[in-house]
Amino acid sequence: MSRATKRTADNVVTMPVEEPTSGMHSLSASLDDAVARRAFELYCARGYQDGRDVDDWLQAERELRGERSSTAA
């Protein structure tokens, strides 16, 4: 005879989450995420041409920093 296994929340496996040490770390990570997304958009808009990843990243940073400084003022 087999015993039925009761599934509880204790059986759930989750990925570990890195706890930010400060609010600044979280802000920096979210800014990096936004820059990465914008850089990818630039790459797509250019027709997926390789070799300009640094240019895309720097352009995305300029755009987002300009956007942040204009909204912060």
Which H or E element spans position 26?
A: helix 23-45
Q: What is the C-alpha R_g of the chain?
A: 21
Give Cα separations from 59 to 39, 40, 53, 72 (angstroms).
7, 11, 10, 20
Q: How many CA atoms lie within 13 A of 17 on its CB side?
A: 5
**DSSP 8-state assignment for residue 51:** S
What pLDDT score was predicted for residue 21? Answer: 58
What pLDDT score was predicted for residue 26? Answer: 74
Q: Is 39 exposed, middle or buried (0-12, 13-18, 19+ CB in 10 A)?
A: buried
* Domain extent listing, the chain: 24-72
What confidence tens digit (pLDDT) does each residue in 6-45 have? 555 566 666 666 665 556 667 788 999 999 999 999 999 9
Q: How confident is the model at residue 60 (pLDDT cuts 50, 70, 90)?
A: very high
